[in-house]
A and B are shown apart, each in its own frame.
Chain A
Amino acid sequence: MTPASSSVSRLVPVAATTVVFLLGFLICALTFPNFASLRVVMNLLTDNAFLGIVAVGMTFVIISGGIDLSVGSVIGFSTIFLALAIERWGIPPFAAFALLLVICALFGAAMGAAIEFFALPPFIVTLAGMFLARGTAFLLSTDSIPITADLYGHLSDHAIRLSGGARLTVPAMAMLAVVAAGMVLLHLTRFGANVYALGGSRQSAGLMGISVGRTTVLIYTLSSVLAGLSGIVFSLYTSSGYSLSGVGVELDAIAAVVIGGTLLSGGYGFVFGTFVGVLIQGLIQTYINFDGTLSSWWAKIATGLLLFGFIGFQQFTLHMARRPRRRATTGSAAANAAGAAS
């Protein structure tokens, strides 16, 4: 897909993210003696499973040059819908899952269609979607409803046991599967190539013969379906449904995508980077939990600082990437300017 020479430099942001994660983990391990264990890593995966799933969808949306603000509300809608469907309406859990994913797919497709066919900014369309999904969740019920179905008990007991009391839980497995599937879909299929093309330039993508409309609708459908799946995982994780769950998750997901090295202007990014971005956010939270004296609001400040650091890094690399080209075209003028500056 890409020339071998540029593919190395393309990996720099993802490599930087991975280095930051490893350094962070090292700092944690040196600070807290019990930190460097398989158990902590597995809990990191389980606790951030719902965020990881939704962030994979957000990666596709952002690489295509869009944004999806509705995902947090879709998670809230999903958990309350599942709780009502399973507990009140007597729908078997798996049928409820399937029904939910169909509803989410239609919801995402409708948003994508509104963005494409009415040429509206994704920001404001998904904002309306955010209101709609959260409002519908409120209308369904404002109570927190526990889910007592047998399947939920089985699924939370079911886990692959590893050494040292570590457990690879169902939510963690679901996230790893979604990350793997997302990587295949984005990097190895025609749809994935179209997503990159759309982010590079919608107009050029259209002129190249890519069906821009169809791809846009599919991208937002994918994001909403993954948000629905994330809602399923969230309801498994908490064994309940609540219309206020998932408030602000869209911000965490966007932050994870940006920290993962994806360009918010679109056209560049990796699912793996997003995965590491989610783990970094989880690591900050785990550090605060281990420390015990730090308040949880430090997590927000740390995430904000990381966001700033990575965005600054992106701007710097973009600037560096543009510079040699300019020097080549305007030749001696740029060289003179550089000489004068030094």
Chain B
Amino acid sequence: MTVKLPRIGTAQILALAAILAINGFVSPQFFDIRLQDGRLFGSLIDVLNRGAPVAILSLGMVLVIAMRGIDLSVGAVMAICGAIAASLADDHSLVVTLAAALGAGLACGLWNGFLVAVLGIQPIVATLILMVAGRGIAQLITEGRIVTFTDPGLAFLGGGSVLGVPTPVVIALAMLALTLIVVRGTALGLMIEATGGNPRASALAGIGTRLITLAVYMWSGLCAAIAGVVAAADILGADANNAGLWLELDAILAVVIGGTSLFGGRFSVVLAVVGALIIQAMNTGILLSGFPPEMNLVVKAVVVLVVLLAQSPRLASLGLIFSRRRS
């Protein structure tokens, strides 16, 4: 029998609740939240705060995957934009710094989109180029050093708080709201789903598939840039080697856990963010429970497999296939 995940995503919410409950069980003070120096503290807030970069990444990734694409370069783009932000922060105003970092993210997205939409290169390969070269470019910007900064304006984006809520969480929520308004408030989401479902038919129906593909990759680049700036602001510096390392995989995982099909055509922005929170809640849970952090990857692998099997179109007809293969 097949486990069909309902559209509303009860399965994901239940999974998140279950993981949080387990966390609360292994660490009784997990749900304690206290207000200190005008900022909320506690494990639950920590999950939200640490999960914010991946959640922001997944907002871009979910649209790319809905177009039947994939963006492997987001980790490298994070490193590039973090490096730009950190090296400009102390000598330039915050507006200039952010404009440069986000502009670089958009440019990276434009490059990916150009390769995919105009040159017709497969998304995995097209974004692989920037994934390989991007980290080199980031190291070029930082000249191989770890660039640190002291600008309080940029630091606020990583370590500050708005009404007690950490800024990264506020930024992630704002991005989520923006994505929802743009995608679900207009026909754009429908067009993205149509293009992912059948690009040719959508083009014939009058959808500008090429322009939408470009826009979606640029959006992913912008999300990666914001995540990169937040990550750099969090540690008050940019490490071109390690910033955003393997986060593209976490973002893809978040989207897949959120029930978006890798074959394109259907997507849920909110559930992708829930997926990012599930990943972070697992990470935090493993740390709290005293298991070695090395367990993390194994647990992740098991979760991916379970989610994949639950979504597998063939699980239902498995018996049939086996009998057909024998004959």
Residues in A lying within 8 Å of B, measured CB to CB: 67, 114, 117-121, 123-125, 127-132, 134-136, 138-139, 142, 213, 251, 254-255, 258, 264-265, 295, 297-301, 303-305, 307-308, 311-312, 315
- B104: interface (CB < 8 Å): no
In the complex the two chains form, is B295's CB within 8 Å of A124's CB? no
Residues of chain B with a CB closer than 8 A to A136's CB: 298
Chain A residue at minimal CB-CB distance from B125: A264
In the complex the two chains form, is A258's CB within 8 Å of B130's CB? no
In the complex the two chains form, is B135's CB within 8 Å of A297's CB? yes
Chain B residue at minimal CB-CB distance from A131: B301
Q: Chain B: interface secondary structure?
A: helix
In the complex the two chains form, is A297's CB within 8 Å of B321's CB? no
Question: Given A117-B318, A118-B315, A121-B262: A135 and B132 within 8 A (CB)?
Answer: no
Residues of chain A with a CB closer than 8 A to B137's CB: 301
Chain A residue at minimal CB-CB distance from B322: A117
Residues of chain B with a CB closer than 8 A to A301's CB: 133, 136-137, 140
Question: Given A135-B298, A307-B132: A118 and B309 within 8 A (CB)?
Answer: yes
In the complex the two chains form, is A295's CB within 8 Å of B139's CB? yes
Q: Chain A: interface secondary structure?
A: helix
In the complex the two chains form, is B130's CB within 8 Å of A123's CB? no
In the complex the two chains form, is B132's CB within 8 Å of A127's CB? no
Kindly count the residue-residue contacts between A and B in the assembled complex, taking CB atoms under 8 Å apart.
Answer: 120
Subset of 12 A-B contacts with CB under 8 Å: A67-B124, A117-B314, A117-B318, A118-B314, A118-B318, A127-B304, A142-B294, A254-B128, A297-B144, A300-B132, A304-B132, A311-B121
Residues of chain B with a CB closer than 8 A to A255's CB: 128, 132
- B28: interface (CB < 8 Å): no
In the complex the two chains form, is B298's CB within 8 Å of A131's CB? yes
A251's partner among B121, B131, B315 (CB-CB below 8 A) is: B131
B251-295 at interface with A (beta carbon < 8 Å)? 252-253, 256, 262-263, 292, 294-295
In the complex the two chains form, is B139's CB within 8 Å of A297's CB? yes
In the complex the two chains form, is A128's CB within 8 Å of B136's CB? no
In the complex the two chains form, is A129's CB within 8 Å of B301's CB? yes
Residues of chain B with a CB closer than 8 A to A254's CB: 128
In the complex the two chains form, is A124's CB within 8 Å of B262's CB? yes
Chain B residue at minimal CB-CB distance from A319: B120
Residues of chain A with a CB closer than 8 A to B321's CB: 117
Residues of chain A with a CB closer than 8 A to B120's CB: 315
In the complex the two chains form, is B300's CB within 8 Å of A135's CB? yes
A236 to B36 CA separation, bound complex (whole angstroms): 55
In the complex the two chains form, is B305's CB within 8 Å of A128's CB? yes
- A306, chain B: closest CB distance, angstroms: 10
